[in-house]
Amino acid sequence: MWPEHSAALPDIPNNATMLPDQTETLANAINQHQLQLRCWMHWHAGTGASHSVNSKTTKILSRLLQPNKQKKQPCEVYLKTYFKIRVQLEITKGMLITEMFEAESPEFKAEVQRISDQQIKDNRKHGKGVEGMARVQPDDNESDINDDVKTNPVILHNNIQQCGPVLQHMIDHFSHKTQWMLTILMGGPNPLDPKGGNVITSLHSGRMKNGHDFSQLYPKFNSEVVDAFGEFLSCACSKFAITIYNLNLTNDLK
C-alpha cells in the first residue's frame, strides 16, 4: 500500500476497486511525493561537486560585507583637516550645516551639486553603488537566456532547484558574519504542474541548543506564516504557471 493512499483516499480500503477518478487522485499524490523526494535529494546531494561554487559565493559575499577602503586623495584629506581645524571650531551650537549651505551663493551651490553629480557618475562607471559598495554584475549570457527562462518550464524548474543550496549557503554565511538568525520564505508556481499548483519552502540559518530552527520551534509556523504566504501566492502567481505550461505546450505543437 502506498503511504499516499491513506492521505489522498482515507475512506477507500486498500483492497477495494477504485474508480478512474480515484486512481487519478492517487497517481497525482504519488507523483507529487516523488517530485518532493527528488527535490530533496537534489538539494542535499553533490556537496563535493558544489564545494568550489560555495567557495566562490563565500568570497563574493565577504567582499560585499567589507566597508569601502578606497585610499583618500591628498586633497580630500586636506579638505577634512581644514574643515575640522579652521571651520568646525567657528560653528556655533545653534547653527546647522544645512543652514550654512543655504546661506551660500547660488554659484557655490551649483558647484557643490556638480561635484556630487560627478561622484555619482564615476561610481556608476566603475560599478559601484551606495557608499562605494561594488555591485554584482549580471552574467554576460543573462540577456540571451531571459526569453528561454520565461517560456521553458524545464529551465524554470532547474533554476528553482538550484535556489535552495545557494540561498542556504548565503544565509549561513551572513549569519556567521553578523550573528543574526535569518529565515527565507519562498515559493511560487511549479512550472511542471499544468494546474499551476504553488510550492512553498523555507530556509533557516539559526538553531536552538536542541537543534530546532524557527519553523520547528514555532508551533504555528505552518498554520500562520506559511498559510498567509500561500494566500499571497495564490493571488499573485496562480495564473503564471498555467500560462507558462500552456505556452510551452503550444510551442511543442508547432
Block residue for cell numbers 538553531: 207
CA distances (Å), origin 180, targets 22, 35, 175, 177, 209: 48, 33, 5, 8, 15
- Residue-wise pLDDT tens for the chain (254 aa)? 455 566 667 777 767 777 778 777 777 776 666 666 665 555 555 555 455 556 666 676 666 666 555 556 666 666 666 666 666 655 554 456 677 777 788 888 888 888 888 877 776 665 554 444 444 454 555 555 555 566 677 888 888 888 888 888 888 888 888 889 999 999 888 888 777 778 888 899 888 888 888 888 888 888 889 889 988 888 887 555 444 444 443 344 33
How far is the C-alpha of 199 from the C-alpha of 207, rounded, in Å? 24
- In this prediction, residue 131 carries a pLDDT of 45
Give, to the nearest 10 degrees, the angle between helix 142-151 and helix 153-178. Answer: 120
Contacts of 189 (CB under 8 A, 6+ apart): 196, 197, 198, 199, 233, 237, 238, 240, 241, 242, 244
Instruction: Give the cell for residue 37.
Output: 523526494
Each domain of the chain, given as residue ranges in start order, spans 73-127, 152-254
